[in-house]
Structure formats: structure tokens, C-alpha cells
Amino acid sequence: MSCLTLMEFSSRNNVPYIFLTNGGGLTETDKAAQLSKKIGIHISPDQLILSHSPMRSLVSKYEDKNVLVVGGNGSDCRNVAEHYGFKHVVTPEEVHAVYPSVCPSSAIEARSVPLAEKYLQNVHRPVEAIMVFHDSVDWGRDLQVILDALVSRDGYLTTVKSQSELHTTKQSVPLYFSNSDLVWSNEYPNPRFAQGTFRTCLERIYEDMTGQKLEYTLFGKPMTPTYQFADTVLNTLAPIHCGPDNLPRPRTVYAIGDNPYADIAGANAYGWHSLLVRTGVFAPDGEENHHIHPATAVVDHVEDANLMYVQAKSIVEVL
């Protein structure tokens, strides 16, 4: 059963089908168009949950505050944040444009067209929250700018606490990550570093500088808020009906993924059936299941899971 056949099956049988990914960096509309073109079928933005989609919940708290948004190419993640409703956004690229010495070793070339003044207006305002929306394209610069905010006085990037304050007070700014994955898989034979590895580096540097543990909030798989958000999306696509006893009928969900530590761990913890494929991060020597996060079933490819779909009430493709 190909992805196309699978979606035809879900449509005929009124089975909601969603894509849940730790990828991001674009709006759901743009990512859905990108995915639709790649696999040759129409994917609605309503069927797509990106790593940062649940971070919409932070808008009510930070809508009018100055937020440092990290990750992605150019102003893509700024656009996502503004699309969600954050009114005041600043990015490491903009900080670097105003203060070139913030990271003199940065390998990123200057823009052919300088950033407009409107994009630089928040650089001098205090940072009131840090949100990592997507993978960094310049680790050195982005680690430096995030650390500048964490050890600053009241979020002002060009200030720093005294040595005694660094070791006795908490970080200056709350920090949020959209993806906990250490690695991800692409065409290269071995998995590649992901946002979780970036976070690990930041944790170590911050602890070495301050002697304190870095505090942060995680979104994305396998975090519970992401699965709660996915449940809300599924209920919108196909509301759960009540039985004769007026109690909601339980929903059966099959979650398909290749990363045991994200896809399978998250699905298992949330009570979904998990299908682990051997076409990505998970590359066993034989027929074994994962030793830490065993899936409901292990298959070679999504096409090999077709018999399990017949009884499904919901399908989640975890990318």
C-alpha cells in the first residue's frame, strides 16, 4: 500500500490521516504545498503538524513581548512566528547584521540585499523569550546569540551579569525548543545531527559558564503536548462519536515512523499503536524490535503495514 493508496483508503473509510513531523521552518501551508509536490498528492495544511505547530499556544503569553526566534533559512522562521501571532520578533541574523562582531567567525555570507530597517528594530529591545523553531544553519552564531540572551541583564543582548550573579541566579530568559531529536535521516548513509544535538551543545556550554543547569521547555515528538495537539487535529478532521451509553468511543490510532526515540516513544507513551519502519533512522541488523522503545510492530516499509490499517480509526504518518 503506497502513501497514495493509503490516503485513498483513509478517505473511503472516513479514517483521518495526518502528518506529524519534527521538521519545520515554514508555515503549515507552505510545508503542505512542498510535501504535496514531493509525494504527488494533495496534502491539506489541516493535515500537517510541524514541530513548532503546538508553539502557537505560547502566543497568548508572548504576543506583545520581544521574542528571539532561532533556526531556518533567512527570515522563514520569523515569518512563521509572525503568522502565528507573535508581534515582536528578532532573529540571530538580525542581531549579527547590527553587531557584526557578535560572531566574527560566522561562515554565513552577508545578504546580497541588506535587511530592511523594519527587521532590525527589535535588536535593541530586551529579549523576553527564546524560541528555537527549526534547525540552526549557523551553529556558532546562534549558540552565541542564545547564550548572550541567557546570561544578559534583563534580556539586553549587549549586557552580561557579574560572575557571582552568573553562578547564583537563574538564566535571564525562558527558552523553548520545537524538536528534541538528536539525529535525523536523509540520503547520507549515517544519521545527521538534529536540533537535539544543538540543544545538548547549548546545555554543556551554559553549564560550564554558569555552573547551573539550563532550563527549557520541549515541544515536538515525543513530548505529550504535541500528541495532545495532534489529537485535537484528528478530532477536527473526524470527531469522535458517543456510543449508546453517551461515552466517547475509543479511537484506534496507528502511528508510522522510523525514529524509535521520537516517533515510537511518543506514540507508545500516548497510547497509540506504533509501527516502526526500517527505512530511516532505525537500521537493525536483523528482524529485532528496538531494545528501548519497542514498537507494536516492525515493518520494512510503510507499504508493508497495509494489513494493520484495515482496523484503523486514525492514521498518523510521523515524518
CA 38 – CA 65 distance, rounded (Å):
37
CA 251 – CA 235 distance, rounded (Å):
10
| CB 39, CB 47: distance < 8 Å | no
Q: What per-residue confidence (pLDDT) applies to 243?
A: 66
Rounded-to-5 percentages of helix, strand, coil across the chain: 40, 15, 45
**β-bridge partners, 37:** none
Q: Is 297 exposed, middle or buried (0-12, 13-18, 19+ CB in 10 A)?
A: middle
In the DSSP assignment, the letter for residue 105 is T
Name which of 14, 51, 28 is nearest 318 in CA terms. Answer: 51
Mind listing the pLDDT tens digit for each residue in 44-103?
A: 999 999 999 999 999 999 999 999 999 999 899 999 999 999 999 999 999 999 999 999
Residue position matching grid coordinates 511518543: 266
- Where residue 211 falls (left for φ over 0; alpha for ψ -120 to 50; beta otherwise) is left
Check whether 318 has a pLDDT greater than 80: no
174 cis-preceded (ω within 30 degrees of 0): no
Q: What per-residue confidence (pLDDT) applies to 1?
A: 40
Contacts 24+ apart (CB under 8 A), 39-43: 39/3, 39/4, 40/4, 41/3, 41/4, 41/7, 43/19
Mind listing the pLDDT tens digit for each residue in 204-215?
A: 999 999 999 999
Quick one: CA torsion of 289, 292, 293, 295, rounded to 10 degrees?
Answer: 20
C-alpha grid cell for residue 269?
Answer: 507513551
CA 15 – CA 237 distance, rounded (Å):
9
> What is the share, in percent, of the chain residues with pLDDT greater than 70?
87
CA 211 – CA 14 distance, rounded (Å):
54
Mind listing the pLDDT tens digit for each residue in 256-304?
A: 999 999 999 999 999 999 999 988 888 888 889 999 999 999 988 877 6
In order of start, what are the domains of the chain with their CATH numbers?
3-50+222-318 (3.40.50.1000), 53-218 (3.40.50.1000)
